[in-house]
Amino acid sequence: MSRRRTANPDPTRRDFLWHAACAAVGATAMASTVWDLRFINATFAQQATAATDYKALVCLFLYGGNDANNFLVPTDSTTYSQYTSARGSLALPAPGTTDSTGNNIGLLPLNPLTSDGHTYGLHPSCTELASLFNSGRLALLANVGTLVGPITRTQYLNKTAAVPPQLFSHNDQQVQWQTSVPDQQSRTGWGGRCADLLYSLNNNNTVSMSISLAGSNTWEVGNVVNEYNVSTGGAVALSGPGTAQVQALKDLIALSHNNLFEKSFANTTTNAINNAAVVNSATAGAPTFTTAFPNTSLGNQLKMIAKLIYGRNNLGHNRQIYFAAISGYDLHGSEGSYTGSHANLLRDLSQSLKAFYDATAQLGVADSVVTFTASDFGRTFPVNGGAGSDHGWGNHQLVMGGSVKGQNIYGTFPTLVVNGPDDTSTGRWIPTTAVDEYSATLAKWFGVSPGNLSTIFPNLSRFAHQDLGFMG
């Protein structure tokens, strides 16, 4: 319900606080301090003293459902023929193909250390990602998706095994990926639950260890720790129409407040001001990174994360959780193959991730930072009438970092046949690796003890693996 307000030439203190705080602090700074109010009765945390090492987990969410059928492609003759037949106008040219000017437009060959009998290539826009993979700094996870439990095609068609509710819905699947609890309502995300367990490893928790560059998200919501929202330009600091008004607001906040609302509002605003100052001071001395970040939304998000990692000691953080995101992957029409909307998104992804990896190496923490992708779902294998693809299920993801056992494709690549053993019936791959298994492997590396994995992932025991082996 909105509250109508008229101009008042002689505003009360409460009116001034209302207007000044809304204009000066803003919703982002206010939301960023809510986690402090939850920092109470934190008996849920693992019993631990502050860590002596550093680790950061970076979730990169690709909103809309990335078409990984055109991200990771088998290139051996039989399977590639199946691919080109089904993909039609979306099919990517074979490795080694060039255009009339000699530029590569073909799939970029991968050289996995372990072969599953197929050869593979990445989208031609992913030059940097192919290089990271072939140099061992990046791994690929095949056919990952939300699952209530293991399920076969026969069980799916006969409806004899449970599937996640609202399976092909953007909003529902985004939440299920971020909570890793598809079969019940969850107030928290698995990243937030990790933070609840591990925040005691930090020397200082004045600023939350969970930091988002993409606004509010489910993944970082905990019972104790929530995200601190930061823009690509830094923390949202107090600003206003004039120095006198800003100072007047600070003076009012400093007064003794008898009214409970005013007192809480003043405390929250003070925390927002102080936290913004701490964050901006911690990142102020960040170096110029040797590899330029693309001047895009994603590039700027990852650049700010690199600056925040630089400032980790001033923040007192030995463990940090970051959330970044980019939208635009819901390409039902005009998706394109080696050019077009999807190619542009993947080029930005590839260049931004390479710049971020190089920045962590420059900061000396490449082995301590792991970046992983997630997305709503995969896309259908056949092309739709709009020269795009529709909502699917299983999808391929990437994990990047110096501690990743890279240059391998983990999991089981689906059989690329409509109505084949991995298909629901329309080219939607039934996942053979659960989000729970993928996420638990990351959480374990991050420091969650094996005995606490079931606290973070209550359905994990239903699946074959608590650790998929892609982390060192």
What's residue 3's pLDDT?
Answer: 37
Average pLDDT of the chain?
89
pLDDT tens, residue by residue, 199-216? 999 999 999 999 999 999
What's residue 272's pLDDT?
Answer: 74
DSSP states of 229-257 as a string? Answer: E-BTTBS-----S-HHHHHHHHHHHHS--
Write out the CATH class of domain 46-236+293-462: alpha beta
User: Mean pLDDT throughout 136-156?
Assistant: 98
What's residue 117's pLDDT?
Answer: 96
pLDDT at 176 over 80: yes
Pairing assessment for the beta strands 395-400 and 138-145 based on DSSP bridges: antiparallel
15 against 442, higher pLDDT: 442
Domain ranges across the chain: 46-236+293-462
pLDDT tens, residue by residue, 402-415? 999 999 999 999 99
Q: How many residues can be counted in the chain?
A: 472
**Cβ pair 180, 194 in contact under 8 A:** no
What's residue 350's pLDDT?
Answer: 99
What's residue 346's pLDDT?
Answer: 98
Q: Which of 29-33, 132-136, 361-365 shows the lowest mean pLDDT across its residues?
A: 29-33
- pTM attached to this predicted model: 0.89
pLDDT at 381 over 80: yes
What's residue 270's pLDDT?
Answer: 64
For 5, 269, 400, 409, 453, the CA distances from 2, given in Å and listed in that order, are 10, 21, 46, 52, 43
What's residue 249's pLDDT?
Answer: 62
What's residue 46's pLDDT?
Answer: 60
User: pLDDT over 70 for what percent of the chain?
Assistant: 83
What's residue 4's pLDDT?
Answer: 37
* Rg of the chain (C-alpha set): 24
What's residue 43's pLDDT?
Answer: 41
pLDDT tens, residue by residue, 235-271? 976 665 556 665 666 666 666 666 666 666 666 666 7
The number of helices, as runs of H, and strands, as runs of E, in the chain is: 15, 12
How far is the first Cα of the chain from the last one, in angstroms, to the nearest whole number? Answer: 52
What's residue 426's pLDDT?
Answer: 95
pLDDT at 40 over 70: no
Pairing assessment for the beta strands 319-326 and 210-212 based on DSSP bridges: parallel
